[in-house]
Structure formats: C-alpha cells, structure tokens
Amino acid sequence: MQRSMQYGLADVTRDLLGLDLRSTALRKDEFWGLRDIDFQVEPGECLGVIGPNGAGKSTLLKLLSGIFLPDQGHLLVRGKVGTLIEVGAGFHPLLTGRENIYVNGTILGMSKRDISRKLDQIIAFSGVEEFIDAPVKHYSSGMFVRLGFSVAVHSTPRVLLVDEALAVGDVEFSIRCLNRIADLRRNGVAVVFVSHNELQVREAASRCLLLSHGIAAYLGDVEHAFQRYESLRAKDQNIPRTGPLVFGSSVSIPGLKITEADGEDQPRCGNDVDVELTLRCARAEPDAYLELRFWDSSGHMVGSIDSRTLGTKLSLPRGGSRLRLLIHAFPLNQGWYRVAGGIRRDGEVLGWSRDLISIAVQAPTGFAAAPGTVALRVSQLDVTEWEG
C-alpha cells in the first residue's frame, strides 16, 4: 500500500506540473494490465469478452468508458456511451430509486426532460416498481443491476458496455436483458459484453475476444473463442478449470438422463419423455424447485422446465436423491441440444450447471415444433432417496 501511495503521489505531481504521465517503463512491482490489444466494434455488433479472473476484462471496459487512460496507444469511441460496469456505480445510497434514475441518467448524458419522458419505461423494465421510492441502500445487488441496466439501455447509447452485470440477476431478467441487447444491436448500437457465463456470451455476441494475462489470445468466431479458452485452461494451471457445477455449492448434480418413456435412449419429438436427475445435497433442502433449460446449437434457449408449475415444492433429503419427471409430447425439433439447469429456492441458487448433458432429438416425418421458447409440459415429479 505504501509503494502504491508513493506512485500515486508521483503521478499527481507530474500531472500538476504538466508533465507527460504516459510511460513505457514499469516501476517496481508494476505490470501491464493490458498489452497490444487491437480491435474495433462496428455499429450493430456485440463483442463478447471472455477470460479468467485477472485477465484484464474489467480494465478494458474502464478504458473504453474513460475511467482509466491508456499509458500507450489510442482509444476512439464514437457516440454516447452507456455503461454498467459495477453494481451500484452511479447510485447514491441515501437517495431513492426514482431520484437515482435522474442522477444516473444525467451521468449517462440524458436531459431531465428525457429522463422524465422515459421514467415509467425505465421503472417498468427494471421490475422494482414496489421499491422505487425506497432508498437504494436497502436494495439487493440484483435490484441495483435491474435499475442500472434499465437506465443504461434507455439512455439511447450508441455504445453499450456491460461488465458481468447479469451475473447477479435472476434468469428471467437475464433473458429480458439479452433480448434488449439484441434490440439495441438491430438499431445500430455497438455492444461490448463481458461475462463468465458462456451461454449468455453465446446468446449475445457476434464475435469474441479472449484475454489471458492482459493480452489478446484470440479474436474472432465465438465458438472458436471458447475452444481456445478450454485449451488455455488445459495448458495453464493458473486458470481454474470449470467443472459441471457453475455456481451454488449446496447441491451437486452428478448426472442427468433424458430418455423416451417407453425405454428408448434417444428422445423423439412429440413423444412422452422421462427425465431422471441425480442430486447430492450437503444438507436437507426444503422448499426447493427444479429448473431445466434447453439451448439449441445456435445458442438460443428454446425450452424450459420449472417444477413450480406443478404447484408443489421439493423437499430434498441430505445425501443422495433422484428426481424423476415425465414430459408429455416433447416439443423440440430434431437436432442437438444442451441442457442447463439445477436447483433453486426463492431466488437462491443451490446448485446449477451450464452443461448438464447434450442430447440428440429425432423427429417423426412431418413433425415441426412451434417457434420460440416453449414451456415443457410436466405432469409427474417424484423424489426418491438414493445412496451411491
């Protein structure tokens, strides 16, 4: 800390004297946060930025937003910039949500008249209407993100910078935000989207930048970027490997099987399908519920299961258990699907995997599922204890 203060005082002194702060020389214990990064994002494009913690993703967005200045090189950002970089940034804890909309909107370049005209839309999109006149110091991190993202996307930006903001929101709001990002892109907004969530990046991004130790390890196709990321994980022991469990530690998910109700291994469109989920709980988990989400090969979520639609909550025992459910008239078209999902309770994630299983679905001749995202129809859900 002492050396950091010394460097800070030296930089402030050089600035006051009008001396150039830009330098190619590193002082003791300094390192380059980013080096030799070269890219451009065109209007209507979304650049996903991925990489391990400490790779320089947040530093890059702070440079683009003007919070940091580069020691070398140049940045050119054309048009109004909307940013959502840190939870609660631009909000005063003692002001209400409504008052903070005016403060945050002004920071993002909106006029008071423009904010007033869009106020109802901002509040409605955020979903925090019930608490909009309460001081934001009482808000959860998810509520901060909802309100901050809503202000940012209604500020009519030409460039939108989003840093891990959707990680603390619930699934429903994350999907709404991804849809909004797609709308902005169609209107010519350039988006830079930082996330550790592979499915969100695949859904939002048209290209991907992979950062590792402050340098660009890859820039290009999204699929190839994640393949390179997996290769980096395999080579670099300092990069944590991702297992099947993405977040939540109370419930692990060792296995998932999806088969035809009549015993056939490969599910077919329009037929009844059995789903068996193997769980292991560190403790008993009452009042839980199951969510499964089906993503097609293009990265779009096309189907979902939510056990709350059955009107019952799950009571999971400590140790091993199996969940079995029956899906009527499986509605997905022929193709490959990735299944993500897990166990939640009142917004709390108990265990979740981004890649539980990949399945191939076959279709009878002439079958065509309805377009869009569908809720799969479940009629039966059983929980049995299991030790193995």
Domain boundary among 235, 262, 290: 235
38 and 177 belong to one structural domain: yes
Instruction: Look up residue 256 and give its two tokens.
Output: 């998932």
- Residue among 178, 161, 165, 214 nearest 51 (CA): 214
Q: What is the pLDDT along the chain (388 residues), one digit of tens a residue?
A: 566 666 667 667 766 766 665 666 666 666 777 888 898 999 999 999 998 878 888 888 888 888 887 878 888 888 888 887 766 667 888 999 999 999 988 988 889 999 999 999 999 988 888 999 999 889 887 888 888 888 888 888 899 988 876 665 566 677 778 788 888 888 999 999 988 777 778 778 889 999 988 888 899 988 788 778 776 765 554 433 333 434 456 788 888 888 888 777 778 888 888 888 888 888 888 888 888 888 877 667 788 888 887 777 888 888 888 888 888 888 888 888 888 888 888 757 788 777 788 888 887 655 555 555 555 666 666 666 555 4
For 218, the domain range is 29-235
* Number of folded domains that form the chain: 2
Domain boundary among 208, 235, 262: 235
Amino acid at 199: L
Q: What is the CATH number of the domain that holds 34?
A: 3.40.50.300
pTM exceeds 0.95, yes or no: no
- Residue at 17 is within a domain: no
Q: Is residue 13 part of a domain?
A: no
Q: Could you tell me if residue 312 is inside a domain? A: yes
Q: What is the CATH number of the domain that holds 277?
A: 2.70.50.60
Structure tokens at 249: 């530690």
Total Cβ atoms within 10 A of residue 261: 14
Residue 127 to residues 122, 136, 169, 222: CA-CA distances in angstroms? 9, 14, 11, 31
Residues 258 and 225 in one domain: no
How far apart CA 276 and CA 291 sit, in angstroms, is 13
Sheet holding 215-220, edge to edge: 81-84, 159-163, 190-194, 46-50, 207-212, 215-220
Cα-trace Rg, the chain: 24
